[in-house]
A and B are shown apart, each in its own frame.
Chain A
Amino acid sequence: ETGVTQSPTHLIKTRGQQVTLRCSSQSGHNTVSWYQQALGQGPQFIFQYYREEENGRGNFPPRFSGLQFPNYSSELNVNALELDDSALYLCASSLNGGQVYYFGEGSWLTVV
């Protein structure tokens, strides 16, 4: 157990809809990163939040957005869902953006 929890675990959305995924970081961890993992591939960095500010972003379009709250929990929002957005979305937390990131179990998103 890493102490990182994500919800929901599975969900199905229709193309064009919007989705919000949630993450509670490990106690005391103030840095949260989000990754997208397509089936059979390694995770791809979406963005990172540190003390409620985005401080790094991967090669994802603006319809991928996020928030971090004062308790360091985080949300990933995806607008105008596309079929290719179907993937496992992983949240990882660390302390002060430190080296070791602890991942949650992920949220499986299927877009139909």
Chain B
Amino acid sequence: GESVGLHLPTLSVQEGDNSIINCAYSNSASDYFIWYKQESGKGPQFIIDIRSNMDKRQGQRVTVLLNKTVKHLSLQIAATQPGDSAVYFCAERVTAAGNKLTFGGGTRVLVKP
């Protein structure tokens, strides 16, 4: 069945350092992946996405890497800032199965000053 999970529930990072958030997925049919950031009391905010025909995509201070061989997804945040403190979710979509996103359980990132 479909499942998306994260390796680390909490990640503490020093301000200015790079952060790496990992995510494992089990459905090889997944063809689209998204990272969302959720701050306390708010809805998920889109960060970056990647299709399964790519292995890397870069945005502003963020990079998503996709390793289909081991079904692994990661989000790298460069020069982590206090405003990056939040819970990060990866989500997958299997286009052939419809439009639903399957979310993992989330990783909390705490940025220390």
- Chain A positions within 8 Å of B, measured between CB atoms, are 2, 4, 31, 33, 35, 40-45, 48, 50, 55-56, 58, 90, 97, 99-106
Residue of B nearest to A99 (CB): B32
Q: Does B99 count as interface, using CB distance less than 8 angstroms?
A: yes
Q: Tell me the number of A-to-B contacts counted with CB atoms below 8 Å.
A: 64
The contact sample of 10 A-B pairs, CB cut-off 8 A, is A2-B43, A41-B105, A42-B103, A42-B104, A56-B99, A58-B100, A90-B44, A99-B49, A102-B46, A103-B46
B29 an interface residue at 8 Å Cβ cutoff?
no
CA distance A56 to B104 in the complex (A): 20
Decide: B46 and A100 in contact? CB cutoff 8 A.
yes
**B61 CB-CB contact with A under 8 Å:** no
Q: Give Cα A90–Cα B98 distance, bound, in whole angstroms.
A: 19
A55 to B34, CA, bound (A): 21
Which of A35, A58, A99, A103 has most B Cβ within 10 Å?
A: A99
Rank and list the top 5 A-B pairs by shortest CB-CB distance, nearest first: A42-B103, A103-B43, A45-B100, A56-B98, A105-B43
Given A43-B44, A103-B45, A105-B42, A55 contacting B99 (CB threshold 8 A): yes
Cβ-neighbour of B106 out of A2, A42, A45, A90 (below 8 A): A42
